[in-house]
Structure 1
Amino acid sequence: MYFEFLNGFQKPVAPGRLAYKKTDPSAIGGGTSFTPEAARRYFYESLGMGAWHIGFVQWQGTAHDGEWGVKGTPAQTEIGKLFSEVKALKNYLMFMSPTKPEIAIYASNFDWVLERWKTSWKDMHLKFIWEHIPKVYLSDLSLRKRILEGYKILVAIDNSVTGREKLSLIEDFVNDGGILITDNSFALKDEMLRNLPKFPTGGNDLFSWSENWKKMDETEDYCIYQLGKGKAYVLKTENEILKTQKIIQLCEKMTDPVFVFENANRYGAYTETFTLFDGANYMIVLVNTGNRDSSIIIKSNKVDIGKVEPILNTGRISFDGENLKITLSKFDTEVLYFRTGDSVSSSSLEKLVSEFAATGTVLSQIKRWLSDETLMPEKRVALVNNFEEWIEPRYVISTGNGRLLVRLDTEDISESLCQELRMEVEVRPFGGIFDLPIKEALDISLDDLRPQYDYYEGKYTRFRFPMKLVITIYGKGGKIYGQSEVVVKEEGEKITNVVCNGKLGGNQMKEKVIVVTDISLKLFQKDPDDAYAILYGILSDNVDIKGIVTTYGNSPLDQVNRSIGIFLSKLGRKDIPVYEGCEIPLKRSLISERAKEIDSIFESETNVVQLGGVDFLINEVLKNPKEITLISIGPMTTIAEAMLKEPGFADSVKRVLIMGGAVYWPKKKEPLPEWNVLCDPDAAKIVFEGQFEKVLFPLDVTMKTRLRRETLLQISTESDIFDWLREATESWFEMPFNKDGIPLHDLLPFVYLDDETLFTFKEIPLSVVISQKSRDYGKTLIVEGGEPIKTAIDVYAPELLELTLNIYKQAFKAN
């Protein structure tokens, strides 16, 4: 109940100290702890309610309970078993979430604050669970137009204090066809504790608000009112037990769930049920909460329950041709899986995946999942079902002149769909929620945002920066078509995005890129990350490599030229022009030339490397103003030369993505100089101070993205190219500093163009130390007054590597 109600605030929550419900005398310090039975129950209840992350906390405090947790208790072994079980469930759990119930229960924040959790709410909650009727709680925050539209029935019992805005929303809900079940104590006072108007007949509730409410009928149990397409059932009884019974009867009569559960126990044993859905397939989580065997009967007129797949195989199952009966031993759990997704052939599935439009952050991630051949076929069908109509429109957000403006570009969305869609803008942390047609723009004064009390400042405030906006596009029945989160860092900022729509929209333009690299394949003590990075850029649907410029760095320039030529020849990409960049730093001599000759395994046929890398950069950037992104994964000498030679270069380049520098790594107070910067600190300083957009990927994040040998070997291909690259990588795994895998430093700028959300960024004032007399020579330091640079400070490394490997697998998959 606690978990469900807090989820009504639409926030992820963790119930505190649930362990108090079961005391384990063997807990450390004599405190309370999870028993094995409680651990299993809470684990699968959380799983059934949609939790994505589950953990058991070891707590030690100064309170009377001392230390509590699972270490050294019988629950520790049980929890080990639970996590083993969830590994077996992994593929089935993919994309599963609780089925959306038809019933919502509204608990007014005002009543909750004034009277805490009411007995009637608790009794109703327990009765709904006992009868296996799914429902969800709505608080004042989540009681809004978009969310209400997704439910058939709204139950509002003992909400005597209800805000006028919420009452108006409830009227709209009923007017549009919803069903309201309430009682005579509903909406007696508004949010200012003022009495609401009375009925002419003496009543005092919602129905006195509008002359549109028409009394249709009256029975012994309730009065029935009609408003527009919907109805309201107002219960007469004041007896809480009878009131709950009547609510259950009405809900059972008016809903049509996918599964109907019936208790089949003689002595009060009980099995909890939780139904999940991934868009095509169903899952039922069963939890026996008692200390005796418990049986339950499952019925459905929508799913062939005879084709059930028990995953844990703990229950005793029988099927009589119509009903499914399962018996669980005391405190046991079971998970049932029903494959209801369309059965498709492999060729049809490939066609389905290939035709799925994927432009934009969300859809690109879905496309990557669809390309993962380890995913169960019905899961891929489910993804298409869920996201084939997803929209990621262009938007403009501005906070200039003391106003908040949010406008969506609907040009690529059909007119008929525009008539249906609405936009909800939630302003966080303060500000409120705004709902309007998608073709309209939200344009309000910042001073008109909802005031909230700031406990830190000790005063009310209407807005604060940074401000997060959650923009949701939805249609009939609350169906979500798209959602974006945007952070506005400061007042006056203007933000636009570049992604377009999915199936309903246009095509996203590929990012035009020129790469500056010191690639050094199969050379002694030379890391292969340039090769993996350039390979990613060639394979990515969002990147268009217009050219490659070589530079000294990892190796002398002639060896870099030969490496890139052989690499592109292997890939069959001789069409990509390659130009020779700078051979030495701007002002200093080379640090070293320690590379040996290229291994004889390389054949002689290579791309022709042309001279004039600096001029190539200048010509391409000036010819395509604000269209070319430079990716620097080597020393920055060639880019600095272009800036010095052509004053208009900096104004014409779109942005520069840099792998270089170390802000805090390996120690916050003593960062080390990074190779790409150290090779030519003068050039790095020029680029860092350039008046164009810069995004920096320092060692702080690149050292977190390590590719392990066993992971690389798991990629099953019949590609000579990838096997060759894998062989070229092998010696690098032998280095003692790579025991945890090789860091793919240069890969990160390319992945950024595919999915910016994998990174956390911060504007940091940075400066490169160029004095050779300084002990900090070549370091990238935080300096007051330094150039603010968008710097990656964290990365979701597992997700980044998963994305990368999936792209490689798809490109080089075995036939």
Structure 2
Amino acid sequence: MDGGEAAKNKKKLIIDTDPGIDDAMAIFVALNSPEVEVIGLTTIFGNVYTTLATRNALHLLEVAERTDIPVAEGSHQTIMKATKLRIADFVHGTDGLGNQNFPPPKGQPIGQSAASFLVEQANEYPGEVTVVALGPLTNIALAIELDPSFPKKIGQIVLLGGAFSVNGNVNPAAEANIFGDPDAADIVFTCGADILAIGINVTHQVILTDADRNRLAQCQSRFAKYLCKIIGVYFAYHHEAYATQGVYLHDPVTLLAAVNPSLLTYTEGVVRVQTSGIMRGITIFDNTKKRYGEITEWTNKPTVKVAVTVDAPAMVELVMERLMNS
């Protein structure tokens, strides 16, 4: 098949991201995955504020020598216009990339907002675009507000979010991305799109160990060398917070779920997000097996897929292979 044919058969990906050390890994893995074509990055707050997320996204594309890929800047506030944001710089460093203070990127984001870029791409390639959402879901919710037909036009949304059946990582109830904008998350979960949610119940099973880190350090690949430079802060945080000799691969797992879904199993049901109170940000899964008597906030909501198991060794191997062969 010719180059044009090959490109046609690739899955088109937009990565919505808040880089972030594991975001950097996920972006590099995506750029080195022959099954997919990254058609854009959109940015969001989370690990850092949105402005810095945009700067980091542009910087990572420069490192990867892929400045042909557009970056669209996303929302600076939650869907309910809150500007007091939870930023996890204590996990990734104040610059989001391990406190390396890289020079500013030469590139600029495109003139379009993330939401309008998402809507435009879904309209241009109906049913063909997968959004991999690695941060709070504000941009996706804004795309749905902008174009109510977006859920039907987008191919799939693979999102990192929720703590199904386990404790959260912000507090016992909530996982960070959902907690970052619970109202947006509830809009997305109930919008009717084809959604696969990857929660920390799954990503906490996939660990890059000290031994894996050493393998990366000995490797001459550009991506591996770059990641070894930035990853120290992330290892130190995990050691302190979880007493673990390794780091969780949240974002690369979510990215690879979009590339190779056979590495996971999932269940299907309705997910709602609590938007206030002590349980703000909790994701509740209804397996839809019971018929309830009353009409409630749960009735007739569309179902989504939620990951339940993961082939962790295969995931780690795939991440390593794609970072080391660059």
Structures share fold, TM-score greater than 0.5:
yes
CA distance in 2, matches of 1:539, 1:676: 25
Matched letter for residue 743 of structure 1:
Y
Please list the CA deviations of residues 118-170 of structure 1 after superposition, one character each: whole Å capped at 9, or x if unmatched: xxxxxxxxxxxxxxxxxxxxxxxxxxxxxxxxxxxxxxxxxxxxxxxxxxxxx
Paired residue for 1:559, among 52, 69, 87? Answer: 52
Aligned to 1:207: none
Aligned to 2:102: 602
CA distance in 2, matches of 1:789, 1:630: 15
Paired residue for 2:85, among 572, 575, 591? Answer: 591
Shift of 1:589: 3.4
SS at match of 2:75: coil
Please list the CA deviations of residues 377-422 of structure 1 after superposition, one character each: whole Å capped at 9, or x if unmatched: xxxxxxxxxxxxxxxxxxxxxxxxxxxxxxxxxxxxxxxxxxxxxx
CA distance in 1, matches of 2:244, 2:127: 42
SS at match of 2:306: strand
Aligned to 1:753: 258
Please list the CA deviations of residues 225-274 of structure 1 after superposition, one character each: whole Å capped at 9, or x if unmatched: xxxxxxxxxxxxxxxxxxxxxxxxxxxxxxxxxxxxxxxxxxxxxxxxxx
Alignment of 1:710-729 (within 5 A): 710-715=211-216, 716-729=218-231
Q: 1:766 to 1:600 in 2, by over 3 A?
A: closer
Alignment of 1:651-662 (within 5 A): 651-662=152-163
CA distance in 1, matches of 2:249, 2:24: 10
SS at match of 1:610: coil
Aligned to 1:9: none
Matched letter for residue 12 of structure 2:
K
Shift of 1:758: 1.4
SS at match of 1:609: coil
Aligned to 2:71: 578
Aligned to 1:144: none
Pick the structure with more helix per residue: 2
Shift of 1:776: 1.4
Contact 2:186 2:272 in 1 (8 A): yes
Matched letter for residue 174 of structure 2:
P
Please list the CA deviations of residues 165-211 of structure 1 after superposition, one character each: whole Å capped at 9, or x if unmatched: xxxxxxxxxxxxxxxxxxxxxxxxxxxxxxxxxxxxxxxxxxxxxxx
Aligned to 2:122: 621
Contact 1:650 1:692 in 2 (8 A): yes
CA distance in 2, matches of 1:606, 1:531: 18
Contact 1:565 1:607 in 2 (8 A): yes
Q: 1:614 to 1:513 in 2, by over 3 A?
A: same
Q: 1:794 to 1:721 in 2, by over 3 A?
A: closer
Identity level (%) = 26
Q: 1:788 to 1:754 in 2, by over 3 A?
A: same
CA distance in 2, matches of 1:602, 1:507: 33
Paired residue for 1:808, among 319, 323, 326? Answer: 323
CA distance in 2, matches of 1:573, 1:677: 30
SS at match of 1:553: coil
Q: 1:791 to 1:593 in 2, by over 3 A?
A: closer
SS at match of 2:231: helix
Contact 2:190 2:271 in 1 (8 A): no
Shift of 1:717: 2.2
CA distance in 2, matches of 1:558, 1:688: 26
Contact 1:766 1:788 in 2 (8 A): yes
CA distance in 2, matches of 1:798, 1:508: 31
Contact 1:514 1:547 in 2 (8 A): yes
CA distance in 1, matches of 2:40, 2:15: 7
Q: 1:594 to 1:700 in 2, by over 3 A?
A: closer
CA distance in 1, matches of 2:303, 2:312: 25
Aligned to 2:40: 547
The reply to whether residue 734 of structure 1 matches residue 253 of structure 2 is no
Shift of 1:809: 2.1
Aligned to 1:477: none
Shift of 1:594: 6.6
Aligned length: 296
Alignment of 1:232-271 (within 5 A): none
SS at match of 2:279: coil
Matched letter for residue 85 of structure 2:
I
CA distance in 2, matches of 1:622, 1:507: 19
Aligned to 1:36: none
Aligned to 1:780: 283
CA distance in 2, matches of 1:564, 1:577: 10
Q: 1:802 to 1:597 in 2, by over 3 A?
A: closer
Shift of 1:765: 2.4
The reply to whether residue 511 of structure 1 matches residue 11 of structure 2 is yes
Q: 1:510 to 1:720 in 2, by over 3 A?
A: closer
SS at match of 1:718: coil
Shift of 1:516: 0.6
Q: 1:541 to 1:709 in 2, by over 3 A?
A: same
Contact 1:732 1:738 in 2 (8 A): no
SS at match of 1:794: strand
Aligned to 1:763: 268
CA distance in 2, matches of 1:507, 1:630: 18
Alignment of 1:97-108 (within 5 A): none
CA distance in 2, matches of 1:642, 1:759: 28
Aligned to 2:61: 568
Matched letter for residue 744 of structure 1:
L
The reply to whether residue 796 of structure 1 matches residue 311 of structure 2 is yes
Shift of 1:606: 3.6
CA distance in 2, matches of 1:743, 1:512: 26
SS at match of 2:133: strand
Please list the CA deviations of residues 682-713 of structure 1 after superposition, one character each: whole Å capped at 9, or x if unmatched: 10011001122101101110111111122121
CA distance in 1, matches of 2:126, 2:284: 31
SS at match of 1:622: helix
Shift of 1:738: 5.5
Please list the CA deviations of residues 303-354 of structure 1 after superposition, one character each: whole Å capped at 9, or x if unmatched: xxxxxxxxxxxxxxxxxxxxxxxxxxxxxxxxxxxxxxxxxxxxxxxxxxxx
Aligned to 2:192: 691
CA distance in 2, matches of 1:608, 1:549: 13
Shift of 1:674: 0.7
Matched letter for residue 52 of structure 2:
Q
Please list the CA deviations of residues 42-80 of structure 1 after superposition, one character each: whole Å capped at 9, or x if unmatched: xxxxxxxxxxxxxxxxxxxxxxxxxxxxxxxxxxxxxxx
Aligned to 1:666: 167
Q: 1:798 to 1:648 in 2, by over 3 A?
A: same
Contact 2:54 2:73 in 1 (8 A): yes
Aligned to 2:139: 638
CA distance in 2, matches of 1:745, 1:529: 7
Shift of 1:648: 2.1
Contact 1:568 1:606 in 2 (8 A): no
Bigger drift between 684-693 and 716-725 goes to 716-725
Matched letter for residue 547 of structure 1:
G
Matched letter for residue 178 of structure 2:
V
Contact 1:516 1:550 in 2 (8 A): yes
Q: 1:753 to 1:594 in 2, by over 3 A?
A: closer
Alignment of 1:14-53 (within 5 A): none
Aligned to 2:295: none
Alignment of 1:225-304 (within 5 A): none
Shift of 1:676: 0.6
CA distance in 1, matches of 2:23, 2:15: 10
Which TM-score applies when normalising by structure 1? 0.35
